[in-house]
Structure 1
Amino acid sequence: MVMSHGSWYACTDPAAEAWPCDTGEAYPSYRGYGYLGEKLAERGFIVVSLSADGINLTSYDYGDRVRLINEHLRLWQQLSTGGGSLADKLPQLRGRVDMQRVGTLGHSRGGKGVMWQASDKHRDEIPNGVRMGAVLALAPVKFDHPEGDNSDTLITRTPVAVVTSGCDGAVKEAGQDYLNDAEGRTTKSAYSVSLRDGNHNYFNTQWTPPAQLGKDDSTCPDRELSPATQRDALTTYAVAFFEKNLKNNASGEDLLTGKRALPGAVSTARVVEPVAGP
Structure 2
Amino acid sequence: MKRHQRRRTSARALGLSAAVLSAAAAAFTYAPAAGAAAPHDATGLSAAHVSGAVRTVRYDLGNEAWHLPQTGEPVELAGVVHYPADLGRGRHPLIVMLHGWHETCADRAADAARTAAESSGDDAAYEAASAKLFAWPCAAGTPALPSDAGYDYLGRSLAAQGFVVVSIGANGVNASSVWGDDNAAARSDLVNQHLRLWQELSSKGGGALAGAFVDPDTGARRDVGFAHHVDMGDVGIMGHSRAGAGVTWLAADSHRGQWPKGVNVRAVAAVAPAYNVMTEDMSAYTITKTPFAVLRGTCDGQVGGEAFAFAADAAKEDRGGFYRFAIHGANHNYFNTQWSPQSGQVAASDDATPVEGHPGQCTDREDAAPARELTEAQQRRVAVTYLGAFFDRYLLGDTRQDQVLTGARHPDAALTQVDVTTAGLS
TM-score by length of 2: 0.61
Instruction: Report Cα offsets for 1:146-197 as digits up to 9, x if no partner.
Output: 545x9754333110100011110000233212123322x1111111100011
User: Helix, strand or coil: the match of 2:395?
Assistant: helix
With over 3 angstroms needed to count, the CA separation of the structure-2 counterparts of 1:214 and 1:112, relative to structure 1, is same
262-271 or 133-142, which deviates more = 262-271
Equivalent in the alignment of 2:329? 197
Question: In structure 2, how many angstroms separate the alpha carbons of the residues matched to 1:151 and 1:202?
Answer: 31
Instruction: Please point out which of 306, 311, 314 is paired with 1:181.
Output: 314
The equivalent of 2:98 in structure 1 is 4
The C-alpha deviation readout for 1:213-255, integer Å capped at 9, x for no partner, is 2100002452211111110001011110001000000111111
Distance 1:197 1:151 in 2: 33
Q: Does 1:161 pair with 2:284?
A: no
In the other structure, the counterpart of 2:384 is 235
Aligned ranges 1:53-202 → 2 under 5 Å: 53-58=171-176, 59-60=178-179, 61-82=183-204, 83-89=206-212, 91-147=224-280, 153-177=285-309, 178-183=311-316, 185-202=317-334
The runs of 5 or more residues in structure 1 that have no matched partner are none
Structure 1 position 2, deviation (Å): 0.3
Say which is worse superposed, 109-118 or 55-64, in terms of deviation: 55-64
In 1, the alpha carbon distance for the partners of 2:165 and 2:271 equals: 16
Output the CA distance in 1 between the equivalents of 2:159 and 2:380: 16
> Matched residues in 2 for 1:129 and 1:165: separation?
35
* Residue pair 1:9, 1:56 contacting (<8 A) in 2 also: yes
Q: Which amino acid aligns with 1:137?
A: A
Q: Say whether the 8 Å CA contact 1:109–1:141 is kept in structure 2.
A: yes
Q: Which amino acid aligns with 1:94?
A: A
Q: Which amino acid aligns with 1:131?
A: N
Q: Judge conservation of contact 2:292–2:315 (CA < 8 Å) in 1.
A: no
> Matched residues in 1 for 2:341 and 2:283: separation?
33
1:163 counterpart SS class:
strand
Partner in structure 2 of residue 33 of structure 1: 151
Greater Rg by CA: 2
- Aligned CA distance change for structure 1 residues 143 and 15 (closer, same or farther; 3 Å): closer
The 3 A distance-change label for structure 1 pair 268 and 219 is: same
Identity rate of aligned residues, in percent? 41
Distance (whole Å) between structure 2 residues aligned to residue 77 and residue 44 of structure 1: 18
Q: 1:20 aligns with which of 131, 137, 143?
A: 137
In structure 2, the residue matched to 1:254 is 403
Q: How far apart are residue 87 of structure 1 and its match?
A: 2.4
1:115-141: per-residue Cα shift (whole Å, max 9, x none)?
Answer: 111110111111010000110000001
Alpha-carbon distance, 1:15 to partner: 3.7
**Matched residue SS, 1:92:** coil
TM-score (norm 1): 0.92
8 Å CA contact retained: 1:156, 1:187? yes
Q: Distance in 2 between matches of 1:186 and 1:54?
A: 32
Amino acid at match of 1:7: W
Structure 1 pair 146/110, CA: closer, same or farther in 2 (3 Å)? Answer: closer
**Kept in 1: contact 2:328–2:417 (CA 8 A):** yes
**Any conservation in 1 of the 2:255–2:284 contact (CA below 8 Å)?**
no
Q: Of the candidates 166, 175, 178, which is equivalent to residue 48 of structure 1?
A: 166
1:271 lines up with 2:388 in the alignment: no
Distance 2:341 2:154 in 1: 18
Root mean square deviation, CA, Å? 1.8
- C-alpha change, 1:135 and 1:25, in structure 2 (3 Å) is same
| DSSP 3-state at the match of 1:47 | strand
**Any stretches of 5+ residues in structure 2 without a counterpart?**
1-94, 108-129, 213-222, 355-359, 362-371
Higher strand proportion (structure 1 or 2) = 2
Shift of 1:26: 1.2
Rounded to whole Å, the distance in 1 between the matches of 2:276 and 2:381 is 28
Q: For this pair of structures, how many residues does the alignment match? A: 273
